[in-house]
Structure formats: C-alpha cells, structure tokens
Amino acid sequence: MSQCVDPIVGKILAGWRYDISGIAPEMCGDYDDHFAACEHCRSRQRLHRGIDIGLIALASLSAAIFLLAFGMIHYFEPRHTILLELVALAGFALSALIWLIVAVATPAPMVVVDAARIGARRVHDKLPEEIRQRLPEELRLRITGS
C-alpha cells in the first residue's frame, strides 16, 4: 500500500476518520488538496465511507427482518405470541437506533446524496434538449449545480 504524501496531515485526517464535512470551509481547501494528491488517504476515506454505508445498509436490513418477523408472528399466532412480538419490536427498535446513530455520527448520508446527485446529473446530460427544457428551473438548478 502507498504511503501518505504528508504524514502530519494524514494523521489529522485519520483522527477525524477522513471526514472533513464538519470543518470550516477555509480549512476544507487544504484537506481537499491533500486528498487530491494522496492516494493513501483517498483509499482510506473510501474504506471508511464504505464501512459507514455498509453499517446503514445492515441496520436497515436488520430492521426490515425484525418487522417481517413481527408480521409473521402476528399472522401465525404461535404460543407466547406477546413475548415474541415484544422481542421482534425490541429488535426493530434497536436496529432503528443503530441506523440513526450511524446516520448522525458519520457523513454517509451526504455521500449517498452526492452519489445520487452525480447520477441525476449524468441522466440529465443524456436527455434530449426538448425534454431538458420541460424540467422546472428549480429542479434543473439543483441537478446541474449552476
């Protein structure tokens, strides 16, 4: 694996889990420049965002499975239905809490929104001109960013 081009900046970024979304805009420029120049830190940032998004996906899947279990218990009505339903609801609540903590504590939602915006921009650029003109001005500005 490659080494960081500026170990001091790399250690600062590692301490922040490669998240520069919450710092002052004037400081962001220096760190953006570092990410542009340093493959090591860019790959670490991608790894951390992948872990964050994976945790959100896993918590979402877990919550969906607990809701499915609750529905199946409610439908089939086995013995100890109340206890099983309470366990299923507690599992759902825990999964939702974990999802919320990860979503608030990490920049993963912003990464997903940025990826969606880039995808929308690509689709917008491929549309014929007459269809692009039919889009509301506000939507066109949000998609293109200009």
**How many distinct structural domains can be found in the chain?**
1
* Position 142 pLDDT exceeds 70: yes
Residue 31 lies in a domain: no
Task: Tell me if 75 is assigned to some domain.
Answer: no
143 has a pLDDT exceeding 90: no
Is residue 114, in this structure, part of any structural domain at all? yes
> From CA 123, how far away is CA 139, in angstroms rounded?
13
The per-residue pLDDT of the chain, averaged, comes to 90
pLDDT tens-digit series, residues 21-34: 778 888 888 888 89
| pLDDT above 90: percentage of residues in the chain | 53
Domain assignment of residue 117, yes or no: yes
3 state DSSP class of 4: coil
Chain segment 45-93, per-residue pLDDT in tens: 999 999 999 999 999 999 999 999 999 999 999 999 999 999 999 999 9
Nearest to 49, CA basis, from 16, 5, 19, 15: 19
10: in domain:
no
Work out the percent of the chain whose per-residue pLDDT is above 70: 99
- As a whole number of angstroms, the distance between CA 27 and CA 31 comes to 7
- Tell whether 129 is covered by a domain: yes
Nearest-angstrom CA–CA distance, 85 and 28: 48
Residue 145 confidence (pLDDT) above 80: no
Question: Is residue 43 in some structural domain?
Answer: no
Whether 126 maps to a domain, the answer reads yes
More confident residue, 45 or 110: 45
Could you list the residue range(s) of the whole structural domain that residue 116 is in? 107-146
Whole-number Å distance between alpha carbons of 130 and 141: 16
